[in-house]
Structure 1
Amino acid sequence: MSSLSRVRPGRPRLIPNIGVGTPREQVLEAAARLFTSKGFAATSTREIAEAVGIRQASLYYHFAGKDEILATLLATTVRPTQMVVDEIVTLVPPERVETALCLLALVDIDTLARVPHNVGVLYQLPDVVSAANLDYASFRQAHSELTEAYADLGAQLATRHGVTAPPRALGSMLIQQVEGVITLRADGNDVDSDRAIEIAGGCLRLCGCDQAEATQAIRRATALQDQLRLGASAVTPCPTPVR
């Protein structure tokens, strides 16, 4: 056996591995729980490592530090939705822009409702909002691109209904409507399918849809959302989210 084929044993854990997922995933889960309960600034990498049952030095094998961990967690709140924007636009005919907007909102709501420990609350931390850290730049870029997707679809729909609103402002209002999920979860409320439909319907009304048009768009979007889920599950299994 060559030296290249030998596997070097890692550092032994402080406690046996009783967590679910890879060590990296366990670090993220523990960090999400600690950041959202104690605060980002008040949580140390040592505490995160101890929560997982590994040495602090072992944590740095997976992440450069707290900033990278937080950036990775924040990405989970936008990347799943951002990754299907093009698929939504392709899947829905241009004349059904109200359905495309509703589908985008429903997918985004589902992402925010499932993300472990409601890490979306970390968006508004002062040390995240004010930071110029490059780790957060990729999250901000992804969030900006998602806002632009809302703005594009929303502006098309608003123009059809004679609603005058700058696209950028409209995009911000739409994504803020959806991100109300974060506040709902923080207040202890479940975001079930009925609540998701209510929020998505609010997005449509912001763009001038009446109740009849919104009802039809929600019906079509809900069916298409099931298609997106089936397509995703055919590619990779969906792990059970940690609450």
Structure 2
Amino acid sequence: MSPPVGRKVGRPRAQERPASGLEPREEVLAAAAELFTTHGYTATSTRAVAERAGLRQASLYHYFDGKQAILAALLEGTVRPSLEVARELVACSGAAAEARLWALCHSDVKLLCRGPHNLGALYLLPEVQTEHFAVFHQVRAELKAAYGELLVGTERGAALGPQERALRTDLLLGLTESVILIRRADPARDPAALAVATADAALRIAGVPERSLAPLRREGQQLLAAQR
């Protein structure tokens, strides 16, 4: 028998959820983000994720081959957009490297604070160190390299030796990702204020004097505004 006119044909849902406008794959990611960050990754089954997404468990495997693949997609989603911003800022040679570094840090913090769930906390899972998450680590390494490239372009960074440059690059990425722990301790912290404070601190790591922060901050904000 043909389905009634107007009814969508597709994989059946295990239960109805309020209309979110999300595609089924995105529903799975949203459900997993909630469950992994509230109940824990180990304690969450694919069945629980499927039920929360309103799908049958068999339908979930149409989009992901398991729980690790879901986690990998969530983690990659926390770094890929920042890498795209980083590439644009590195290529924007007409602006001061310090302002571009400020803009990258600010954008990265806003991404890590985006959404209701603190996905960055999943970085700390021991499972993330396995080969199943090689793509996430590769993308994160490329993002770190962009931080380092912008650091080298700054007035003080150009004079740093290789070891000091590597250390400060580690500090820059570590500073940005420290908002994960801040957000976990204080979920109500204003992301906008946190992004500005973190980006200012990044320039201090790069050796920018306090008197130069305000104009570089303004230039960084203009760079971000131009990207929207």
Moved over 4 A (4+): 160-165
CA contact (8 A) 1:101 1:153 kept: yes
Contact kept? 1:100, 1:221, Cα under 8 Å: yes
> Contact 2:101–2:151 (CA<8 Å) still a contact in 1?
yes
- Distance in 1, matches of 2:68 and 2:116, equals 18
Residue equivalent to 1:79? 80
Give the equivalent residue in structure 2 for 1:53: 54
Can you list the C-alpha shifts for 1:158-215, whole angstroms capped at 9, x where unaligned?
6458555533322111011011221121112423322211110111001111112122
User: In angstroms, what is the RMSD of aligned CA positions?
Assistant: 2.1
Q: State, as a whole percentage, how many aligned pairs show the same letter.
A: 37
Instruction: Work out whether 1:124 is the aligned partner of 2:124.
Output: yes
* TM-score, length-scaled by structure 2: 0.88
Residue 139 (structure 2) pairs with residue 137 (structure 1)? no
Counterpart for residue 151 of structure 2: 154
- Contact kept, 8 Å, 2:99 with 2:217, in 1: the verdict is yes
1:175-186 pair list within 5 angstroms: 175-186=173-184
Q: What amino acid maps onto 1:149 in structure 2?
A: A
Cα deviation, 1:77-123, whole Å, max 9, x if unaligned, reads: 111110122211233426x1111111111111111111451111000
CA distance in 2, matches of 1:194, 1:116: 17
Instruction: Give, in whole Å, the separation in 1 of the partners of 2:188 and 2:174.
Output: 18
Written as runs of structure 1 = structure 2, the 5 A alignment for 1:82-93 is 82-93=83-94
Q: How far has the Cα of 1:44 moved from its partner?
A: 0.5
Question: Which of 160-169 and 107-116 deviates more?
Answer: 160-169
Structure 1 gaps of 5+ residues are: 1-7, 230-243
Out of 163, 166, 169, which is 2:164 matched to?
166
Partner of 2:3: none
Query: Quick check: 2:110–2:191 contact (8 Å CA) kept in 1?
Result: no
Shift in Å, 1:9:
3.5
Find the aligned partners of 1:9 and 1:197 in 2 and give their Cα distance. Answer: 47
**Gapped runs of 5+ residues in structure 2?**
1-7
Count of paired positions:
219
Tell me, in whole angstroms, the C-alpha distance in 2 between the residues paired with 1:158 and 1:170: 14
Cα distance, 1:220 vs structure 2: 0.7
